[in-house]
Amino acid sequence: MKILIINGPNINLLGIREKHIYGKINYEEMCKYLKEKAEKLKLNIDIVQSNIEGELVDHIQEAYGKYDGIIINPAAYTHYSIAILDALKAVDIPSVEVHISNVNSREEFRKRSVTAPGCIGQICGFGIYGYVMAMMGLINDLKQE
Ligand code: DQA
Mutate which of 13, 34, 73, 124 for ligand 1? The one with the most ligand atoms within 8 Å of its CB, which is 73
Task: State pTM to two decimals.
Answer: 0.98
3-state secondary structure of 5: strand
Query: What value does the mean pLDDT of the chain take?
Result: 98
Is residue 77 predicted with pLDDT exceeding 80?
yes
Average pLDDT over every residue of 2-18: 98
Maximum Cα interatomic distance, the chain, rounded to a whole number of Å: 40
**Alpha helix (H) residue ranges in 1-145:** 19-22, 27-40, 53-62, 82-91, 129-144
pLDDT at 145: 77
**Domain residue ranges in the chain:** 2-144
- This model of the complex carries an ipTM of 0.99
Q: Is the CB of 99 under 6 A from ligand 1?
A: yes
Burial class (CB in 10 A: 0-12, 13-18, 19+), 143: exposed
The CATH class that applies to domain 2-144 reads alpha beta
In whole angstroms, give the CA distance from residue 42 to residue 24: 27
Determine contact, residues 76/115, Cβ cutoff 8 Å: no
Is residue 8 predicted with pLDDT exceeding 90?
yes
